[in-house]
Structure 1
Amino acid sequence: NTVAGGKTKLKPACRMATMQWDDELAELAALNVKQCDMKHDACHNTDAFKYSGQNLAWITFYNTPNATKLSLRSIDLWYDEIEDTKMEYINKYPNGYRGPAIGHFTVMMADRNIRVGCAA
């Protein structure tokens, strides 16, 4: 809502998508987690989502993990890329973009993204 409402340095959203949960994407995310290897996997596209993306996060914790807190912390880490993001970057991303890492943020903000699936 912060970005969509224009409460950041970026333009307000004119057609922000509504995210919906997708079981198939969640299953693919779980398979990635089970590999215990912190890297994007080569096979995460589906028939429905030919150009799916992956946002990964590595968080160290010392107490009993809480999945909700870990998920929210991951989202915060990706959102923090807004500090390095400008509208001119978003308009070119990913084609022709040369600059700091903003891919996690742009994936979360892109209006064409309508489904999400997560695993921890």
Structure 2
Amino acid sequence: MITITQSLKDLLLKEHNKWRQMLAMGSVDGYPAATRMLKVHWDDELEFLAYKHANHCVFEHDKCRVTEKYPKSGQNLGLKLYSREFNDIIQIIEELCAEWFEEYNFVPKHERKDIVTQYKHNAKWGHFTVMARERNDAIGCALVSMKNTKLNPRAPFHYMLTCNYPETNLPGPLYDHGDACSRCDSYGPTFKCDKADYFLLCDLKLDTSTSLPETSSRTTSSARIFEYTTAPNVAKKTTKTTEKHKSCASYLESKKN
């Protein structure tokens, strides 16, 4: 495993927030500006779940990442293959995050505004839409390096990035569109446009331990979840029940101890 230092956490946050800022301001071709796109922060629970996934060194989605806090959790996976050991971790992260977001190009131009209003499932752009969901205000990621001569003998050095999110690609709007950063208060009176680095993203302007207000909190759902990888563009569909949620949460909690 590659240690996710504070500087790498900051980089992952920057890579997500800069793309969300571009989307919020209406600077992504064919996509309208966002009224209440949330700023992304680091989440230790999502990081822990990502670590458990990456530690298996298998480029497939896990089936045990849904918890009480994140009942509709999403996940993006990225893989880089090299002919030799590659030590520029910053470049790997930047390229994978860019590849995820730039899947917006796969959405036909005449459908881009429509997909913002009502999500349309397609594995070709699944990574982008996870990054673009207005309520995905947290990430936790893990990165692993491994050597696999069987998969590709000419490029046996593999680097896999796992990032987990509060929400996955579910039916409904990706984000509310209109004047950029004009409806932050729809999450509650303490949500304002960020004054630090991302002025068109909404952020909670209280103690960082304060959670979303009850009216906009995430609720448990057994809705169908679509999962994505940067491997073949085929979506995997799984239906998770409340009992599976509980058993997953218990399993993960036991692994912490």
Note the C-alpha offset of 1:103: 1.2
More strand by percentage: 2
State the alpha-carbon separation in 2 of the partners of residues 105 and 80 from structure 1. 7
Q: Deviations over 1:14-49 (max 9, x none)?
A: 101011100110111111111111011011112111
How far apart are 1:89 and its partner, in Å? 2.3
Secondary structure (helix, strand or coil) at the match of 1:58 reads strand
- How many residues matched? 117
- 1:51 matched to 2:81? The reply is no
Q: Identify which of 98, 109, 113 aligns with 2:136.
A: 113
Greater RCO, 1 or 2 (C-alpha within 8 Å, sep 6+): 1
Determine helix, strand or coil for the equivalent of 2:115.
helix
Q: Secondary structure at the match of 1:78?
A: helix
Q: Distance in 2 between matches of 1:87 and 1:44?
A: 31
Does residue 32 (structure 1) correspond to residue 53 (structure 2)? The answer is: yes
- Asked if residue 3 in structure 1 is aligned to residue 23 in structure 2, the reply is yes
Aligned letter for 2:135? Answer: R
Question: 1:66 matched to which residue of 2?
Answer: 88
Which residue of the partner structure matches residue 90 of structure 1? 116
Q: Distance in 2 between matches of 1:65 and 1:27?
A: 23
Aligned with 1:59: secondary structure?
strand
CA shift in 2, pair 1:20/1:99, >3 Å: closer
Gaps of 5+ in 1: none
Unmatched tracts of structure 2, length 5 or more: 1-20, 144-257
Q: What is the DSSP-based 3-state SS (H/G/I as helix, E as strand, rest coil) of the residue aligned with 1:56?
A: strand
**What residue in structure 2 maps to residue 13 of structure 1?**
34
**Which stretches of structure 1, 4 residues or longer, exceed 4 Å deviation after superposition?**
none
Contact 1:22 1:117 in 2 (8 A): yes
Shift of residue 100, structure 1, vs aligned partner: 5.5
| Residue identity matched to 1:113 | N
Q: Map Cα deviations across residues 36-92 of structure 1 (whole Å, 9 max, x no partner).
A: 110110111121111110000011133432332211111011011110231212333
Letter in 2 for 1:101: K
Task: Compute the TM-score of the two structures, normalised by the length of structure 1.
Answer: 0.88
SS in structure 1 at match of 2:26 = coil
Letter in 2 for 1:55: N
Describe the SS at the equivalent of 1:82: helix
Q: CA RMSD in A?
A: 1.5
| Residue pair 2:23, 2:33 contacting (<8 A) in 1 also | yes
Give the match for residue 101 of structure 2: 79
Letter in structure 2 aligned against 1:29: A
SS in 2 for 1:55: strand
Identity of aligned residues (%): 31
